[in-house]
Structure 1
Amino acid sequence: MSLHKQKTVKKKIQLTGVGLHSGKIANLNIKPAKPNTGIIFIRTDLKNNNEVIPHVNNVSSAVLCTTISNEYGVKISTLEHLMGALFGLGVDNAIIELDSEEVPILDGSAKVFVEEILKVGLEISNTPIKVIRINNKIDFKDGNKSISIEPSKVNLEIDFELVYENKLIGNQKNKFQIYEDELTDVFNSRTFCLFEDIEKLRKIGLAKGGSLDNAIVVKDDKILNESGLRNKKEFVNHKILDCMGDIYLSGYRIIGKIKCSQGGHKLTNDLMRKVFEKNDNFSLVEINEKNLPNAIFGKQYLKSIA
């Protein structure tokens, strides 16, 4: 069995949980799909025009979460943690059924998605994977926020810096080789917010489903969650998870180096839109053992299919 072949889940996965911003209970199914299907969302609570394709140009909002829409205005929101799990585990094809607009937040990370996918296992096809190879360095800036992507030989590197005035969060940096490094800390890292921002969010109709069960809440120099942090760099590691999920809206895994300072959903989407503005910025490459070293999709993928 080759790590360079397209993969899907072996069986249907069923999950239920609350939407972080809507506060509504949602039921989600992750179902197997044939090679070259990609990731497709289907709103089962709607009868017509209910298919939504994740794509960087289908992002209709990137305020505090990522929302995609189809041409009929049908939306899927807060999909970044699920997409990050699919990306990190190498799931190329899946049908995602959802009976609400918002993907369940579960514990605020990708942990449950990853555990459930690994529980059913991955089905490996005979169809080669395709990846996007970055050809040119591209930068995007928004005030003191910045993000860039540049060519790499065989991996995806995400180098992320987080800068907060809050002393507990402060300045955190971390870097991962996504196809080689152990990603448990990234998958397990939860979304977070400052205590003083909670009321502001709820006044504008957001965070209705937020709680200490699905988010880290920081008040001054204290973490209000009794269990504390799951890892020392959980704040920046969660941002790396978000980044993985948002770049998977490209439709493929990517070979390149990403460096980001103080970014988020919007900045990542702005960068990816800029990448796809010109065809010479990237190449879509079909991968097989003859044209790419085995280093790519190595350790992490061996674990995921074991």
Structure 2
Amino acid sequence: MRAQEFQNTLQGPAIFAGVGVHTGAYTRVAVRAAPADSGIVFVRTDVTDRDNRVPVSGEAVTKTQLGTVIENAAGVSVSTIEHLMAAMVMLGIDNAVVELDGPEMPIMDGSSAPFVQILDRAGRRPQDAPRRYIEIIEPIEFIDGDKRATLTPSDHFEVAFEIAFDSAAIGRQRIDMVMDERAFRTELANCRTFGFLHEVEYLRSIGLARGGSMENAVVIEGDRILNPEGLRRPDEFVRHKALDAIGDLYVLGAPILGRFEGVLAGHGVNNQLVRALLASPKSWRYRTLVTELAQAV
């Protein structure tokens, strides 16, 4: 992996809009440049009576059912951030302000590919500050029954994931790869979220999945895939789970130098791993490559 030495923000604003998969609300979004060392901050422009800035952090995650939700001390929240977060970390965007006029990020086509295209159009601008990586120096693990997520030392960012479903449409799938910008663009970015038809019907009965459709998710009924176009990849399901995990890890505020492995994990387990890492400072350290390059000269 060719690690980047300096931080980046956007060259120009990235403007887009769409419906939220759970709220069904149409939301307009503008991703704008931000100063070095400011991280990713979401701003709810529709909230004017209290603090509407929601900085991303591991502790800011308050809900993980069917997506990652962050919330500030004033109770202002933003949901379903993980697909944009995955695109930003893998495209090397360290600092940005994400303005949106609703409670949920647009789902777009259910993958990160639209966000990659939007960020590409906006462009990337280097900044003077060195990029900080989270280097894993001791293994960290979170286990919940048969679900597991781990971070272990590695010279690269590696992602491995395994899922298993009774449905013959999915079965057992596993991927294991070194993950950099090129690999993300070609191997993961276009892999969509998925769900079972009976689950979608239940979620709608309790007020969720209002914006979900075969336009933005792979829908399975029994052993059949209902989407007329089928899958984008034979193992699209596990690849999307890996994409989710990359976005969920970026709430740490820095890219990772280490190996992530998830087994039957989801947003909740991913965030518990994030919290376990934050609670174990001996297991990781910040590392910048600028100092190392200067010493090598």
> How far off is 1:76 after superposition?
0.5
Aligned letter for 2:70?
Answer: I
Provide the TM-score with structure 1 as the length reference: 0.92
**Which is worse superposed, 178-187 or 143-152?**
178-187
SS of 1:57's equivalent in the other structure is coil
* Residue equivalent to 2:11: 10
2:67 aligned to 56, 65, 68, which one?
65
* Residue equivalent to 1:136: 138
Alpha-carbon separation, structure 1, partners of 2:227 and 2:40? 34
Deviation per residue, 1:228-287 (Å, 9 max, x gap): 111121100100110000000000001111111100000000011001102212101222
Deviation per residue, 1:61-88 (Å, 9 max, x gap): 0011110100111001000000000011
Aligned letter for 1:283?
Answer: R
Alpha-carbon separation, structure 1, partners of 2:283 and 2:193? 32
Query: Which structure 2 residues correspond to residues 33-52 of structure 1 after superposition, within 5 A?
Result: 33-47=34-48, 48-52=50-54
2:260 aligned to 258, 262, 272, which one?
258
Alpha-carbon separation, structure 2, partners of 1:182 and 1:7? 19
> How far off is 1:181 after superposition?
5.3
2:250 aligned to 248, 251, 254, which one?
248
Q: Which runs of 5+ in 2 are unaligned?
A: none
SS of 1:91's equivalent in the other structure is coil
* Residue equivalent to 1:74: 76
* Residue equivalent to 1:27: 28
Number of paired residues? Answer: 292
Alpha-carbon separation, structure 1, partners of 2:233 and 2:207? 31
SS of 1:182's equivalent in the other structure is helix
* Residue equivalent to 2:289: 287
> How far off is 1:291 after superposition?
4.9
> How far off is 1:98 after superposition?
0.7
Alpha-carbon separation, structure 2, partners of 1:42 and 1:29? 10
Query: Which structure 2 residues correspond to residues 1-306 of structure 1 after superposition, within 5 A?
Result: 3-47=4-48, 48-153=50-155, 155-179=156-180, 182-183=183-184, 184-288=186-290, 290-291=292-293
Asked whether the 8 Å contact 2:90–2:181 carries over to 1, the reply is no
Alpha-carbon separation, structure 1, partners of 2:270 and 2:26? 28
Deviation per residue, 1:105-151 (Å, 9 max, x gap): 01111111001111222111222111111121111111111111111
The percentage of aligned residue pairs carrying the same residue is 37
Alpha-carbon separation, structure 2, partners of 1:15 and 1:54? 20
Alpha-carbon separation, structure 1, partners of 2:27 and 2:197? 26
Alpha-carbon separation, structure 1, partners of 2:162 and 2:280? 28
Alpha-carbon separation, structure 2, partners of 1:291 and 1:171? 43
Provide the TM-score with structure 2 as the length reference: 0.95
> Alpha carbon RMSD of aligned pairs, Å?
1.7
Asked whether the 8 Å contact 2:14–2:121 carries over to 1, the reply is no
> How far off is 1:3 after superposition?
3.2
Aligned letter for 2:169?
Answer: L
Asked whether the 8 Å contact 2:162–2:173 carries over to 1, the reply is yes
Alpha-carbon separation, structure 1, partners of 2:86 and 2:282? 26
Aligned letter for 1:61?
Answer: K
Asked whether the 8 Å contact 1:161–1:262 carries over to 2, the reply is yes
- Runs (4+) of structure 1 exceeding 4 A deviation are none
> How far off is 1:221 after superposition?
2.4
* Residue equivalent to 1:303: none
Aligned letter for 1:162?
Answer: I
Asked whether the 8 Å contact 2:5–2:288 carries over to 1, the reply is no
Asked whether the 8 Å contact 1:185–1:234 carries over to 2, the reply is no
> How far off is 1:289 after superposition?
6.8
